[in-house]
Each structure stands twice: as structure tokens, then as C-alpha cells.
Structure 1
Amino acid sequence: MSTPHVLLGLLVTGAKHGYELKRAHDERLPRARPLAFGQVYATLGRLQRDGLVATAGQEREGGPDRTTYTLTDAGRAALDGWLAEVEPPMPYVASTLFAKVAVALLVADVDRARDWLVAQRRAHIQRLRELTAAKSAPSATLDDVVALDFAITHLDADLRWLHTTLERVADWHREVHS
């Protein structure tokens, strides 16, 4: 995720201070890793240094001064350029799940590898049920539904891959250990 670009996007709707940006991030990207306040302010500092945001003032609401930031024309151009770039599919398989399965098939006998895959599939199915229930909850916002659709689709792909791999365990094991 590009935190600077996400913060620029959140500033499109108007000036905000760091706390508002963190809250907006966590609301608009509800299933993403929450941003730390330090990360928000450090990123805002770099964006300001690069001329992509400017200070719009300071306010005090019963606490310390809060600097409000606004998007500059250069920031809007940088955001538009980032959004226009097609995100390339990942060139490599970078998944802990894939690495664990590959190693399990190398070091375990067929039955142990199959047991691990079945346990992993059960965990995925349970998580899929949880996410599906969350998606149909009355409190689910459109932000939640979009994030949940993304997570559910990825879990479904993992489940299909686990199913296919389970069908191939004996063949893979025989090939590796022959």
C-alpha cells in the first residue's frame, strides 16, 4: 500500500489534521492494517517537504495544536498519476501459505502433509464464514463490503488452491522423495 498516496486521496475531500486522516484511513480501508499516528505525521512531513500538501492552519480543540493539511495542485497531480498507473500483477509468489505448503510437502510424510493442508483449509473456511457473516451484518458499510469482497475473493482463491494441492500431495511427495 502506498501510504502517501492514500493520504493524498483522503485530502481530496478537504483539509484535515493527522488524527482525522488516521481515522479516515481506518474507516475507508476497514480491513487494512491501521496506520500508526507516527506514520501519518511522518508521511505528512515528507508530503509537505515535497510540496504535495500544505498547511491550511492550526486549531486547538481542548488539547495540543493540530496542524491542518490541504492538498496542493502538485499533490493532486501526483495522486492522479498514481491512480492512472496500472498495478502490475505480482511477479512472484510471495505468500507464507505457499511457502508453508511447499516446505510441508518436502519435510513431512504424505499423511502429515495432508493433515496440515486439511487443517489449513478448515481455518480458511472458518475465516470465510466469519467474513461472509460480517458482510451481511446490518452495520456493514459500503467500505466494509468492498474490503470484505476483496478478502473473501482471496480466501476463495486460496481454498481452491488448497483443494487442488490436496489432490496432488501424493504425486508431489513421490516426485520430491524419489
Structure 2
Amino acid sequence: MSVRHGLLALLSRAPRYGYQLRAEFEASTGATWPLNIGQVYTTLSRLERDGLVARGEQAEQDDQGRVMYAITQAGVDELDQWFARPVSRTDRPRDELVIKLAMAVTTPGVDVARVVRAQRAATMRSLQELTRAKRGLDTSHQAAQRLVLDSMIFQAEAEQRWLDHCEAVLAAPPKETT
């Protein structure tokens, strides 16, 4: 998820300071994507530099002196464009598991079947944890959390199917090339 756009979405509701943004970001994602407070403030600095947010004046600080940030019209426009634009599969980060298995297959001495079994066990544990988390959803952010957890569950299930496919490909005799 784009932290940049996630923060803009939160700021589109009302001005906030960094720790509020962090807490609300994590609540919206069911705490499945923890956000480092340093990342929040670094992102806010970039958003401010790009004219997408503005730092509040002295009068706009809260009672503890924390600086409030507000979305600008340019930020609203950027957010609208982000919501309207589909996410491309090529925009997502590299998949470490795919790289790991590709390297394992081509590296002499690596027990690829063991790598696959270890990943399958870890993915199954993750799937079980996600399913338990889904059962215990907090009702205050239930729809957002459910969507995030559903996505993660579907991804874990797809990973299990892909691991099945990897085992089948690796077990098949090599095809002759002519």
C-alpha cells in the first residue's frame, strides 16, 4: 500500500498530527501493516515539499504543541487520481519468495523441496493466524479490517496453490530439448 496515499486519505477527513495518522493507518489496516512513526514524518515532509499537505500554523497545534497537517487542494487532486487509477501488477514490489525459489532451483546443493516445505508450513501458520484475526475483528473499523484480512488470506491461499504448482513442476521429469 502506498503510505503516501494512505496518509492523504486520512488527512482528507480532517487535519491530524503524525501519531494520529500512524494510529489511524494501523487501525484502518487491522494493524497488519505496522507503520514506523519515522516513516510517517518522513512521508509528511515529502508531501509538504510536494505541496500536497500543509503544516498548521501555531494556532493549529493541539494542546500539547503537536503540529497538525492538513491536505491541500493539490493533495485532494492527487488522492482523487490515486483512487481512480488501477494498481498495476508491475507497480508492486518484487516477490522475495519467487526470487528465493528461482535462486534455490539454480543453486547447486540447495534442497529445493525442503525450501518449499518450510515455506508451506510458514504460509499455513500465517493463514491460520489471519483466519483467527478475522474472527476477532474490532467493530469500529470492521469493514476496512475485513477487506485487508480477506486480501491477505486470499494471497496466502494463492501462495499455497503456487507452492503446489512448484512441487509438481520440480517433480516432473525434465523435457527434452531438440
Does 1:106 find its partner at 2:106?
yes
1:150-177: CA deviation from partner (whole Å, max 9, x where unpaired): 11111111110111111121336x469x
State the 1:76 CA deviation.
0.6
SS where residue 118 of structure 2 aligns? helix
Q: Percent identity?
A: 35
SS where residue 158 of structure 1 aligns? helix
What stretches of structure 2 of length at least 5 have no aligned partner? Answer: none
RMSD between aligned residues? 2.7
Judging changes above 3 Å, is the alpha-carbon distance between structure 1 residues 91 and 160 closer, same or farther for their aligned structure 2 residues? same
Judging changes above 3 Å, is the alpha-carbon distance between structure 1 residues 139 and 44 closer, same or farther for their aligned structure 2 residues? closer
Tell me how many residue pairs correspond in the alignment: 171
Does 1:163 find its partner at 2:170?
no
TM-score of the superposed pair, with normalisation by structure 2: 0.81
Please give the alpha-carbon distance, in whole angstroms, between the structure 1 residues aligned to 2:44 and 2:109.
52
Q: How does 1:18-29 map to 2 (within 5 A)?
A: 18-29=18-29
Please give the alpha-carbon distance, in whole angstroms, between the structure 1 residues aligned to 2:92 and 2:23.
33
Q: Which has the higher strand share?
A: 1
Contact 2:21–2:40 (CA<8 Å) still a contact in 1?
yes
Contact 2:137–2:145 (CA<8 Å) still a contact in 1?
no
Contact 1:31–1:148 (CA<8 Å) still a contact in 2?
no
Please give the alpha-carbon distance, in whole angstroms, between the structure 2 residues aligned to 1:92 and 1:23.
24
Choose 82-91 or 20-29, whichever is displaced more.
82-91
Please give the alpha-carbon distance, in whole angstroms, between the structure 1 residues aligned to 2:49 and 2:102.
45
Q: Which residue of 1 aligns with 2:82?
A: 82
What stretches of structure 1 of length at least 5 have no aligned partner? Answer: none
Q: Which residue of 2 aligns with 1:2?
A: 2
Contact 1:5–1:82 (CA<8 Å) still a contact in 2?
yes
SS where residue 34 of structure 1 aligns? coil
TM-score of the superposed pair, with normalisation by structure 1: 0.81
